[in-house]
A and B are shown apart, each in its own frame.
Chain A
Amino acid sequence: MNLLLARPGLRVAIVGALALALAPLLGRNGIMSDYVAVLIGEAVVLAAAALSLNLLMGHAGQISLGHGALVGVGAFTTGALTPATELGLPFMLAVPAAAVAGALVAFVIGLPALRLRGLYLAVVTIAFSYAMFESIFASEQVGGGSAGVSLPRPQVNTFLFTDEADYLAILVGLLALLWLVDTNVTRTKIGRAFRALRSDEAVASSFGVDVTRYKLLAFALSGAMAGIAGVMVGHLKLTVSSSVFPYERSLLYVVVVVVGGLGSRVGVLVAAAFYAFYPIAMPELFGTGVRGYDVIIGAALLVFTMARNPGGLAGTIRELRHERRSERARVAAEADAGVDDADGPALPKLPNMPRPASLAQRPEARGDAPVVEADNITVRFGGLIAVADASLSVPRGRIVGLIGPNGAGKTTLFNAISGLERPESGRVRLLGHDVSNLGAAARCARGLGRTFQNIGLVKDLSVTENLLLAQHTVAPYGIPAALGYAGPTGRIEDELRERAATAISGLGFERYADTQVGNLSIGQQRIVELGCVLVTAPEVVMLDEPSAGMSPAAAENLADRLRDLRDELGRTVLLIEHNVPLVLDTCDELYVMAGGAVVAHGSPDDVVRDPVVVDAYLGGALT
């Protein structure tokens, strides 16, 4: 029994089954009146709608102020499919149909989201929902005009599902389904990809997350859930029309999700129950004089939540719990710092991660081709040429440095090689294969790992979660399987967790496993970032200013770790660095860029004596 309860899927299934059995039983025996059943039903449908918004806004960070329109799409779909005269069968069809309709419409709204972010997306979604309610839903053809569309309670036969309690059972069952889907999203690579999107899209794609695909997936999934919520609402209200269902409804969903706590299922459920019940409870408790203050208090609560703690209910609780943990982490960190007082904290050894079994499909290197080759890359931003016809080649097992003044185009060239930037012309080859037409995620899957100047980690996730996210490309289960947590999903997830744990213990970071990355020092973050790159066993590691923000001691330590990478782990390294002594100490070859072009190439000793380089870059740094 214990084992059964430990699995979230089973837990949800048990709750759903209990509700399905219990609600009609209570209704039939007169324990639960119709009034109460409808009331609970209101809370359940509000929770379902809020859950769909929570997936989009809370997990994937895509704000929508127009989710009511998607719920409306579901409601009007079932309205079209369930003519008032024909009872029975269509309800079973209405649920998937509304899910599909919701997903399609949401997908279309998601398209501008590929270009628009944050506030702009908020504007588009709110305007969209307003236009839907003013136009499409208000029309005779879709919304049934001012009379609206009437929707009967679903009925299977004359015995089952005849009263309010029976319908409540169906509602709870559907909510359990949505809950289960959301649970599966959060515990698989889908949820991790969403959270990475929410935090930083560039970071997400460097982890191999296909940003376009997952953004649209978030919209479509959320739309499908909203469609189902629409079916639930429609059959509860019995009539849906544009005026019964105003666009301000969208704002209520936002209130519930934000007050409950973005991304928290339980928080959303509690907030939904609160917002559904208290307008009724207040007059009961304090007399009818307070009627009408309900919305005022609800809105005030939202404003208060935002001002006090944007994390909402769940955020507050999480923070309280977290405070104790971070205090412990800090004490530990201080103890660390105290130990090697004089030498500064040493960087740990890097873990040697074998290639994961699932990486079999990675194309093998062609002969002894250089690991990375960039030919005649040109990148232009508007009128400005950031990289001008630059070429470089990184042979296997070498540490190659890329230096040059600020604005020389080093990072842009990095971006072009790793696929974050589309060059105007030029080719990129990885292990001898032309990857010029592949995106960043695909190049990552083919063995290119990179770090970022401002640290490519998801700062609000823990070390473990970042390491799991880093394995996005080596988690070979499909999205449908993940949604059902079916097939190999569970087994592969277990493997990923094991690898993450191995990497963490390899770094000696066990005590920080659950610490949010943003709370670590810059030096520690760089180490975690390196761990994330290594956990996928890349062929080449590209590092963008790894020593920036490190103390001299840590930088020196970094040099040893870089040599380990080459000598012990057999990796190839391409390195951008301003720390000239570090570069001279570690690199086998150096490229120098200035004004977008490669101006020098050769052994470090030759390069630093090159007058061009001294003039353009080094100045008197070495004298």
Chain B
Amino acid sequence: MGEVVVFGLIAGGIYGLFAVGTVLVYRGSRVLNFAHGEIGMMCLFLAWYLVTERGLPWIVGALAAVALAAATGWAFERVVVRRMTEAPRVAVSVATVGLALLILATEIRLNGDNPRSLAGPIGGRGFQIAGVFVSPTQVLALLVTIAVAVGFATLLRRTDFGLGVLAAAQDPNMARLVGVPLGRVSGFVWAAGAAVTALGALLIAPTVQAFAPGAFGRLFLFGLAAAIVGGLTSLQGAFVGGIVVGLVEAGAGRLFAETSFPGLETLTIFVLMLLSLLLRPEGLLARSGGRRPA
């Protein structure tokens, strides 16, 4: 049991981080960015090149990776999303599918299917909790997720700019008419969402050990499940959703350990996602009748 909890928390933190990235973009523009998984992967390749190949310090690689992610998100907003203000939101989401394929193809072109690896920011052997080895990076990942979720939630509720983000999500045209700089708001959420995802990718890299193009599909989808469990608009909800998905996955893994049938954890998460969409679409943390938590 303790094992399940530890595994669940470790994985859940990363899902939460991916979920926060998804929620940021969704809050700001009511679009799901299906390219997040691939953006995270692309950034890992950059970090791998700088750190593993060139021997630069981890932090340099990480900063470059996060910057690349932010730039990609921002540029996509600039070039594609902004032209689609009148288009249905589903169409914009389909365009992000195109972005995902574009990045994926570019990765394969440049790197082939070769698996790469990247060390964590903190070395050391780690320690044992309930019989599970936990690396310092994994603890860090959990803390970073909490900090990012709380940080962005505060930014959105407390600052004018954050209020502008909320307003733009509700009615972009009206937001412009009260003076909210829509371009900047939209660019910010797309850049921030991608950057947070890159952070998640960097922190999970040592755990997955080797990564190759397209390998983050699962991570992204589990993050999406986490965002949905949390209600899609709530940053705290995204974090809690991440933990829930992590725990359910670990629990299912334990439960189905004996079965030879593949992918039952994935199937379980799919069912969890479906149930939360159908039974509690407003998210775990929403109070009935009250306002959604920021």
Contacts and interface: CB of A to CB of B under 8 A. Distances in A.
B98 A255 contact: yes
Contacts of B99: 299, 303
A277 interface: no
Contacts of B104: 248, 295, 299
A137 to B, nearest CB: 9
Interface stretch (A71-79, A112-120, A431-439, A614-622): A112-120
B11 interface: no
Nearest to B95: A306
B90 to A, nearest CB: 5
For B34, B105, B289, the residue with the greatest tally of chain A CB atoms inside 10 Å of its CB is B105
B248 to A, nearest CB: 14
Nearest to B112: A292
A127 B224 contact: yes
A65 B96 CA distance: 12
A360 interface: no
Interface stretch (B52-60, B201-209, B272-280): B272-280
A266 B48 CA distance: 45
Interface string A286-311: 00000011111011101100111010
B95 A65 contact: no
Given A112-B277, A123-B224, A296 B89 contact: no
A272 B273 CA distance: 32
Contact of B101 (A130, A299, A310, A382): A299
Interface in B258-293: 260-264, 266-267, 269-270, 273-274, 277-278, 281, 289
Contact of A120 (B83, B91, B266, B277): B277
B262 A119 contact: no
For B92, B93, B97, B102, the residue with the greatest tally of chain A CB atoms inside 10 Å of its CB is B97
A63 B34 CA distance: 14
Contacts of B88: 118, 310
Contacts of B109: 292-293, 296
Interface string A55-66: 000000001010
A251 interface: yes
B103 to A, nearest CB: 8
B177 interface: no
Interface in B109-125: 109
B217 interface: yes
Contact of A63 (B83, B90, B261, B273): B90
A122 interface: yes
Q: Is the interface of A mostly helix, strand, loop or mixed?
A: helix
A302 B101 contact: yes
Contacts of B261: 135, 139, 141
B87 interface: yes
Contacts of A535: none
A367 interface: no
Contacts of A310: 84, 87-88, 91
B90 A118 contact: yes
B101 A247 contact: no
A115 B261 CA distance: 31
A115 B278 contact: yes
A303 B102 contact: yes
Nearest to A301: B98
Interface string A214-238: 0000000000000000000000000
B254 interface: no
B237 to A, nearest CB: 16
A127 B266 CA distance: 9
Contact of A123 (B32, B95, B262, B267): B32
A560 interface: no
A134 interface: yes
A130 B217 contact: yes
Contact of A131 (B98, B224, B270): B270
A295 B108 contact: yes
Contacts of A120: 277, 281
Contact of B95 (A118, A131, A307): A307
B100 interface: yes
A255 B96 CA distance: 11
A95 interface: no
Contacts of A127: 221, 224-225, 269-270, 273-274
A97 B214 CA distance: 33
Interface string B227-263: 0100000000000000000000000000000001111
A385 interface: no
Contacts of B97: 65, 251, 254-255, 302
Contacts of A296: 102, 105-106, 109
B113 to A, nearest CB: 12
Contacts of A70: none
Given A123-B273, A296-B102, A306-B91, A130 B266 contact: yes
For A122, A247, A293, the residue with the greatest tally of chain B CB atoms inside 10 Å of its CB is A122
A296 B101 CA distance: 7
Nearest to A123: B224
Contacts of A139: 261-263
A309 to B, nearest CB: 10
Contacts of B277: 112, 115-116, 120, 123-124
Contacts of A63: 90, 94
B214 A130 contact: no
Interface string B9-39: 0000000000000000000001110100000
Contact of A299 (B31, B80, B98): B98
Contacts of B269: 127, 131
A278 interface: no
A112 B278 contact: yes
Nearest to A292: B109
B79 interface: yes
A509 interface: no
Given A119-B93, A122-B32, A124-B273, A307 B106 contact: no
Contact of B262 (A118, A128, A138, A293): A138
A258 interface: yes
A101 interface: no
For A141, A248, A299, A300, the residue with the greatest tally of chain B CB atoms inside 10 Å of its CB is A299
Given A255-B101, A383-B289, A122 B90 contact: yes
A62 to B, nearest CB: 10
A292 B88 CA distance: 32
A140 interface: yes
Given A131-B270, A296-B102, 6 more contacts: A122-B93, A126-B221, A130-B266, A135-B263, A295-B105, A302-B95
27 contacts: A119-B30, A120-B281, A122-B93, A124-B274, A127-B221, A127-B224, A127-B270, A127-B273, A128-B270, A130-B266, A134-B218, A134-B262, A135-B266, A136-B263, A138-B263, A139-B262, A141-B261, A294-B105, A296-B109, A299-B98, A300-B102, A302-B94, A302-B95, A303-B80, A306-B95, A307-B84, A308-B83
CB-CB nearest 10 A-B residue pairs: A135-B263, A302-B98, A295-B105, A134-B263, A299-B101, A306-B95, A299-B102, A303-B98, A131-B270, A296-B105
Interface of A: 63, 65, 112, 115-116, 118-120, 122-124, 126-128, 130-131, 134-136, 138-141, 247-248, 251, 254-255, 258, 292-296, 298-300, 302-303, 306-308, 310, 382-383
